Amino acid sequence: MSKRTRRAAAALTAALLAAGAGACSAPGSAPARLTDRTGAHPSAGPAGGSPAGRGFTLVASGDVLPHDSVIRRAQADAGGEGYDFKPMFAAVKPLVTAADLALCHSETVYGPEGGPFTGYPEFKSPPEVAEGLKATGYDGCSTASNHALDDGAEGLKRTLDAFDKQGLKHAGTARTAAEAAAVTMYTAGTAKVAHLAYTYDTNGFPMPDGQPWAVNLMRQQKIVADARAARTAGADVVLVSVHWGTEWQTEPDETQLSLGKALTASRTGSRPDIDLVLGTHAHIPQAYEKVNGTWIVYGMGDQVSGRMVNYADQPDPRGNYGSIGRFTFAPPAEEGERWQVTKAEFIPQMMDTDSGRVVDLPAALAADPGREEYQEAQDAIRQAVLSRGAAKDGLTMGR
């Protein structure tokens, strides 16, 4: 990650949280409107016995962060002509495609066709990453991150153009004011699912001239206002992705804890405004926790990354560990009530930097129980994920 991320973020995030609404909209702009950009897996998902409709499964995964070594691996997988990221994700494709809705986190922006492409510290990834994500079965990604402006407005535009070309949706960044005002919407089961995304900062890069809406910044009142607007316009389920936390720290920091508590406490009448919080950025797995009756994933860790070095300049395998969250939603018994998470699971995964492949750890260990490094990774991920007592609220390790 950029060295600019190493500076203390506490003052910045506190100011952002206190600043209130309007961070990502032009002054005087209207509240976010709902645009139904429907499109999800056709599978029926869990059978719904409620008259309110049919439930669904959601999977969500962590940071896709192509370092130079990842880019070289994709070039080799393409036979030296272009870049092929599909083999990199092949092991998790069955998990992703089995869900009714699958969301990833695209941390970097894309360079122009043919390059040049760069990794750390200012990333410009091959646009073929989007092709790999779509082929794996993802429906869309959060794109708000501290690297969203690494190549300015042009990099942001190229990224979203590549998403459009592949039929991937996105939340958190925008090319136009109208796009920024729209809420990304999916249909899963019979639910309308809104996806919102925000980041704590853009590594000090200012918003492009005349585009204060280009990247959603993490401001509590803005997030709540957007969630309420999405709900009012018809969203049954509201998902919020937040790029937050302290890198290389397993425990959620004070901003994560306080903002998570505030977001999950926000209600309109008897119904929560937000149904699930999905965290990214820390580069290592963090805890899942049920707060005010709502699940928070503080950090899913990295899904794709090169060999990681921590702030002590030491190789740290945790930077290649992550979890995929899988949540089963059931419709309410009565119209207008909350859709309930009836099953919460995490699936440990890691980036094997020797092979350049994402590994589904439970599946890999079932096939080869003797892989010591895989067992160590799975144990470390389980410990981090369950470190705030999520097991007592029913979180289990899935396969």
Angstrom distance (rounded) from CA 51 to CA 77: 48
H-assigned helices in 24-107: 68-77, 86-89, 93-97
Beta-carbon contacts of 120 under 8 Å, excluding residues fewer than 6 positions away, are: 1, 2, 67, 68
Angstrom distance (rounded) from CA 281 to CA 172: 14
DSSP letters along 222-241, please?
Answer: HHHHHHHHHHHTT-SEEEEE
Backbone angles phi, psi at 337, to 5 degrees: -85, 175
Beta-carbon contacts of 337 under 8 Å, excluding residues fewer than 6 positions away, are: 271
Helix (H, G, I), strand (E, B) or coil at 156: helix
pLDDT of 48: 38
Domain hosting residue 354, numbered range: 3-397
pLDDT class for 280, splitting at 50, 70, 90? very high
What is the per-residue pLDDT across 293-317, written as a single tens digit (0 to 9) for each? Answer: 999 999 999 999 999 999 999 999 9
pLDDT of 52: 56
Q: Is-contact 334 67, C-beta < 8 A?
A: no
What is the per-residue pLDDT across 134-166, written as a single tens digit (0 to 9) for each? Answer: 999 999 999 999 999 999 999 999 999 999 999
pLDDT of 335: 85
The total of structural domains in the chain comes to 1
Mean pLDDT of the chain: 90
What's the number of CA atoms in the CB half-sphere (13 Å) around residue 131? Answer: 12
Helix (H, G, I), strand (E, B) or coil at 372: helix
DSSP state of 289: E
15, 17, 23, 29 alpha-carbon torsion, rounded to 10°? -130
What is the per-residue pLDDT across 184-226, written as a single tens digit (0 to 9) for each? Answer: 999 999 999 999 999 999 999 999 999 999 999 999 999 999 9
Beta-carbon contacts of 281 under 8 Å, excluding residues fewer than 6 positions away, are: 63, 145, 146, 199, 200, 243, 244, 245, 247, 299
Residue 7, pLDDT above cutoff 80: no
Q: Give the residue-averaged pLDDT of 243-247.
A: 98
CATH code where residue 354 lies: 3.60.21.10
Residue 46, pLDDT above cutoff 50: no
Angstrom distance (rounded) from CA 358 to CA 302: 10
Residue 29, pLDDT above cutoff 60: no
Q: At what angle do helices 152-166 and 128-136 cross, to 10 degrees?
A: 40
Q: Give the residue-averaged pLDDT of 325-333.
A: 97
pLDDT of 53: 87
The sign one gets for the Cα dihedral 362, 315, 2, 154 is: negative
